[in-house]
Amino acid sequence: MCLQSLKPQDVSGYYKDAVDLSRIREGKQRVNILPYEAGDIMKTGDSLTYPGKGTLSNGCLCAIFIILFMTSCATQVKKTVTEQRVTPPAGQTVKKAVAEKEMTCSEHTSRVFNFSGIGVMPYLKLAFYDMDGDGLTDMIMGGKHGRVSLFRNLGYPSVQEWQRVDGFFDGVHAGAFSAPAVGDINGDGKPEIAIGTGGFSSKSGRILVFENKGTVTRPEWTELTDLKMDVGDDAAPAIVDYNFDGNPDIIAGNSEGKLFFYRNVSDNRRMTFQRDTSRSVTKSLDKYAVPAAVKVKDKVILVVGTSMGKLYRFDLMKHSSVLRAKKLDMPSVSKRFLSPAFITLTDESSDDLVIADGDGSIFYYHNVKNNFSAWEKDHELFNNRLIAGPACAPTIADIDGKVCIVVGNIDGTFKFYEQVSTDNGLPWLEEPGVLQSLKVSGFSRGILTQWQDRELLITGESNGDIRAFRNTGTRSKPSWKEQSGFFRGIKTAYHSTPAAFDLDNDGNWELITGAEDGGLSAYRIGNTGDGNPTWEFIPGIFDNIRMRGFSSPAFVRYNGSIYLFAGQEDGRIRTFRADASMSRNASQGNARFPRFSETDFLKKLKMNNHSSPSVRIHDGSIELISGDYDGNIRHFVCNE
C-alpha cells in the first residue's frame, strides 16, 4: 500500500509515534518504520512487510522522520531521532523498538594509575608548609593553569596519601604559571603566600602577596596591592630570612636565569619589600631560574633549578654580598624545567629536597648526612603515579594474554607498559626497550594490532600522517620496520588519531581516525596485491558526528551494541551507540555499517583538555582509560 492509503490507526496502534499523515503527503514530516534508520530512502522495487496490513511500497518515495512520545508519570517527553541516509534491503520485516539500556561508569584511577591523590600537572611549582597547624607538612601546588591548590598531609608519607582541599586558596590567582612560596611574613602566626606569575599572563614577572584575613581552617585571602615586585618575566619566589635580621625576605628567579633579592622592611602598619642590590651572583644561570631556600644556623642554603635540567647551590653567609655557585649533581633527576623545594617530611631533623619537573613528575631526595651535599633518591615517595608525559594518548590492548598500554605524547615518542601483579606500588611495569626506537613528528598516538601474524603499530601524529611499523623481531628483542606506503592515500587534516576496529563484523578491522577539525573518517581494506593494502573511504558513517576539535575515537562491542567513545579538545568524552546487529558481514551479502546516535552517559566526566580514550571488554564490563593534555591517565569501569 502507498502512504496515501495508510491510516493513522495503522501506525499509532503499532508504534508509539504521533504521525500527521497530511504533513507526510506534503513532504513536511518524516516517519521511521523500524528497523530502518531515521531518514531511510527506499529504492525502486523495495518494499516493507507491515504486520497485518500487507506491503508498504515505495511508490511515493517519501523520506520519513520520527517523533516519539513516551509517557511517564503523566509527563510526556518528546525525543527527535537524528536523520541518517541509508538504503534498506528489500523484504525486511518491521520490528518494535527496544528501549536503550542505561550505562553507568565508576572511576578507579586511585587503584590503577594514581595512588597519591595528586593529579599530574606540567611545569609544577611546589611549596611545603603546615597550613592548618596540625604539625604535618602540607603541599602547596602551582602550575601552568595559574591556580594554586592545597594538598593536606594525612600523616602517612610512606603511602603518600595527600588529600586535595578544594577552595582553600579561593581568591588567590596568578593568571598563568603560578609559582607559590609560603611563610609567616608579618609574624601574626598565620602563613602568607607569595605567588610568582608567568607565561602569557599580563601579570607575568610580578610577585603577588596574599594575606589571610580569616583563620587557618577558614582562610580569607586578600592581595596586598601596594607591594610592587616585578622581575621581568616568569617570576618564581622563595621566602627566607637571607640577611639574618629575623624578618622573612624574598629571593626570586626569572625567565632569563637571573636572581633578585627583596629585603623585608615592613613596620607595624604595613608590609613592605625593598629591592636589595647588595647581593649579586657571579655568573648567569640557565633560563627559567626557580629558587628554594632554607636557613640553617649561620647560613642560608639556596638551590636553584633551571629549564636546562641543572641545579645550582649557593651558600649565603650573614655578611656575604657576592654569591658563588656550586653545581649539584642529583641522581636520576629529570632534564628540563626543574623546580626545587625544601621539605621536612620523614625526619624532623633533616631538610630534604623535592624536585618537580616540566612533565609533572616529583622526585624526593634525602639529605643523608644533613650537609646538603650527599643526596639519596627515594624510589617510593611521590613515585606511585603513572607519569607518561604531556598530551598523553594511551591505548590498551591484550597481547599474548597480557594487558599492555602504549602511550604516545607531545614529543612524538612512545612508552610501553605491561600490567603486573604487585602487593605494593603501581601495577604497571614500564619496558623502555619495546618502543624506544620509534619517534614521529609530535602528539603521537599508537595502536597495537596484528597484520599477517606480526605485531603492527599504527601511529598518528601532528602533521596528519598515519604510519605503520611492523615488528620483525620478538617481544624481548623487538625490531620495528616501517611499512612504507601501508596507508597510502589516507591523509587527515592534522593531528591524526587512529583506531582499528571491525565495524562491519567481517573479521577484518577498519581504520577510523580523528583529526584536528573534530571529524571522524573511516576506511576499509581493499586488495593487498603488493603486500600493502589499498584503502577505500567509507562514506556516511560519521557524517552527523563532529567533536569540538581534536577528535580521538575508541570502539567496543558490548551487549549487542557498538559503542563509540570520542575525546575532544575541551576534555569531554562523548559517547555514541549503534545496534551491532545492523552491521552485516560483507561475505554474507548486503554489507552494511552501523549507524551511531549519541548517548552521552559520560556528560559529567571531563579530563583536563584533549581527552584521548581507549576501551576494551574486561570481566563483562567496559574498561575505559583516557589521557589528557596535562599527562593524567584515568580509569573507569562502565556497565549497563
SS3 assignment for 494-546: CCCEEEEECCCCCCCCEEEEECCCCCEEEEEECCCCCCCCCEEECCCCCCCCC
Domain count, the chain: 2
- Which range is most confident: 319-333, 371-385, 552-566, 593-607? 552-566
Please classify residue 92 by burial: count the beta carbons closer than 10 Å to its beta carbon, then call 0-12 exposed, 13-18 middle and 19+ buried.
Answer: middle
CATH code assigned at 273: 2.120.10.10
Do 400 and 372 share a structural domain? no
Do 335 and 454 share a structural domain? no
pLDDT, position 75: 34
Do 424 and 368 share a structural domain? no
Helix (H) or strand (E) holding 109: helix 109-112
Distances (CA, A) of 173 to 87, 142, 271, 312: 57, 10, 20, 29
Do 425 and 370 share a structural domain? no
Please classify residue 510 by burial: count the beta carbons closer than 10 Å to its beta carbon, then call 0-12 exposed, 13-18 middle and 19+ buried.
Answer: buried
For residue 533, say if its preceding peptide bond is cis, omega within 30 degrees of 0: no
Instruction: Measure the CA–CA gap between 424 and 380, rounded to whole angstroms.
Output: 10
Helix (H) or strand (E) holding 112: helix 109-112
Instruction: Measure the CA–CA gap between 261 and 189, rounded to whole angstroms.
Output: 24
pLDDT, position 591: 57
CATH code assigned at 526: 2.115.10.20
Instruction: Measure the CA–CA gap between 587 and 85, rounded to whole angstroms.
Output: 23
The DSSP code sequence of 337-394 is --EEEEE-SS-TT--EEEEE-TTS-EEEEEETTSSSS-EEEESSTT--B----TT-EE
pLDDT, position 587: 45
Do 533 and 476 share a structural domain? yes
Locus of grid cell 573511504: 537
Average pLDDT, the chain: 82
- How much is the average pLDDT of 119-127? 93
Torsion of CA 160, 161, 166, 170, to 10 degrees: -40
| pLDDT tops 90 at residue 125 | yes
pLDDT band at 22 (very low <50, low <70, confident <90, very high): very low
Distances (CA, A) of 114 to 397, 427, 617: 20, 10, 22
pLDDT band at 241 (very low <50, low <70, confident <90, very high): very high
Last residue of a domain, one of 320, 343, 378: 378
Asked if the structure places residue 74 within a domain, the reply is no
Dmax (CA) of the chain:
104
Sign of CA dihedral 369, 370, 373, 378: positive
Please give the model's pTM, rounded to 2 decimal places.
Answer: 0.79
- How much is the average pLDDT of 368-375? 90
Distances (CA, A) of 439 to 63, 388, 435, 481, 627: 50, 15, 9, 12, 19
- How much is the average pLDDT of 481-492? 90
pLDDT, position 400: 83
Asked if the structure places residue 85 within a domain, the reply is no
| pLDDT tops 60 at residue 588 | no
Last residue of a domain, one of 378, 406, 423: 378
| Choice between 89 and 140, residue whose per-residue pLDDT is larger | 140
Helices (H) and strands (E) in the chain, counts: 3, 46
- How much is the average pLDDT of 254-260? 94
pLDDT band at 332 (very low <50, low <70, confident <90, very high): low
Torsion of CA 574, 575, 578, 583, to 10 degrees: 70
Instruction: Measure the CA–CA gap between 225 and 234, rounded to whole angstroms.
Output: 19
Instruction: Measure the CA–CA gap between 127 and 635, rounded to whole angstroms.
Output: 29
Do 178 and 137 share a structural domain? yes
pLDDT, position 439: 96
Do 423 and 355 share a structural domain? no
Instruction: Measure the CA–CA gap between 371 and 444, rounded to whole angstroms.
Output: 44
pLDDT band at 331 (very low <50, low <70, confident <90, very high): low
| Choice between 112 and 96, residue whose per-residue pLDDT is larger | 112
pLDDT tens digit string along 298-316? Answer: 889 999 999 999 999 988 8
Instruction: Measure the CA–CA gap between 289 and 276, rounded to whole angstroms.
Output: 18
pLDDT, position 538: 93
pLDDT, position 584: 56
pLDDT band at 66 (very low <50, low <70, confident <90, very high): very low
Q: Residue 106 CB: number of other CB atoms within 10 A?
A: 10
Q: Provide the phi-psi class of 265: left if phi over 0, else alpha when psi is between -120 and 50, else beta.
A: alpha
Give the residue numbers spanning the domain of 551.
393-639
| pLDDT tops 60 at residue 297 | yes
Do 250 and 331 share a structural domain? yes
- Residue 612: which residues within 8 A CB-CB, separation 6 or more? 392, 393, 394, 445, 497, 552, 567, 626, 627, 628
| pLDDT tops 80 at residue 63 | no
**Cβ 486 vs Cβ 468: under 8 Å:** yes
Helix (H) or strand (E) holding 71: strand 67-72
Instruction: Measure the CA–CA gap between 352 and 329, rounded to whole angstroms.
Output: 15
Q: Which of 111-133 are b and which e, b meaning 16 or more Cβ less than 10 Å from the residue's Cβ?
A: ebbbbbbbbbbbbbbbbbbebbe
Asked if the structure places residue 184 within a domain, the reply is yes
Asked if the structure places residue 30 within a domain, the reply is no
**Cβ 140 vs Cβ 129: under 8 Å:** yes
Q: Which of 16-20, 159-163, 573-577 has the lowest mean pLDDT?
A: 16-20
- How much is the average pLDDT of 151-176? 84
Do 437 and 327 share a structural domain? no
Asked if the structure places residue 64 within a domain, the reply is no
pLDDT band at 399 (very low <50, low <70, confident <90, very high): confident
Asked if the structure places residue 65 within a domain, the reply is no
Q: Which of 56-70, 206-220, 476-490, 577-591 has the lowest mean pLDDT?
A: 56-70
pLDDT band at 583 (very low <50, low <70, confident <90, very high): low
Q: Which of 56-72 are b and which e, b meaning 16 or more Cβ less than 10 Å from the residue's Cβ?
A: bbbebebbbbbbeeeee
Asked if the structure places residue 112 within a domain, the reply is no
pLDDT, position 24: 35
Do 268 and 133 share a structural domain? yes
| pLDDT tops 70 at residue 492 | yes
pLDDT band at 150 (very low <50, low <70, confident <90, very high): very high
Q: In the numeric block, which cell numbers belong to residue 280?
A: 649579586
Do 597 and 510 share a structural domain? yes
How much of the chain exceeds pLDDT 70, in percent?
81
| pLDDT tops 80 at residue 495 | yes
Strand ranges of the sheet holding 510-514, from the earlier edge strand across to the other edge: 497-501, 510-514, 520-525, 535-537
What's the first-to-final CA gap in the chain, in angstroms?
40
Asked if the structure places residue 3 within a domain, the reply is no
Do 247 and 329 share a structural domain? yes
Helix (H) or strand (E) holding 25: helix 21-25
pLDDT, position 160: 60
Strands 322-323 and 280-281: parallel
| pLDDT tops 80 at residue 345 | yes
φ, ψ of residue 123 in degrees (nearest 5) = 55, 50
Last residue of a domain, one of 319, 352, 378: 378
| pLDDT tops 60 at residue 12 | no
Instruction: Measure the CA–CA gap between 287 and 302, rounded to whole angstroms.
Output: 17
pLDDT band at 57 (very low <50, low <70, confident <90, very high): very low
- How much is the average pLDDT of 127-151? 93
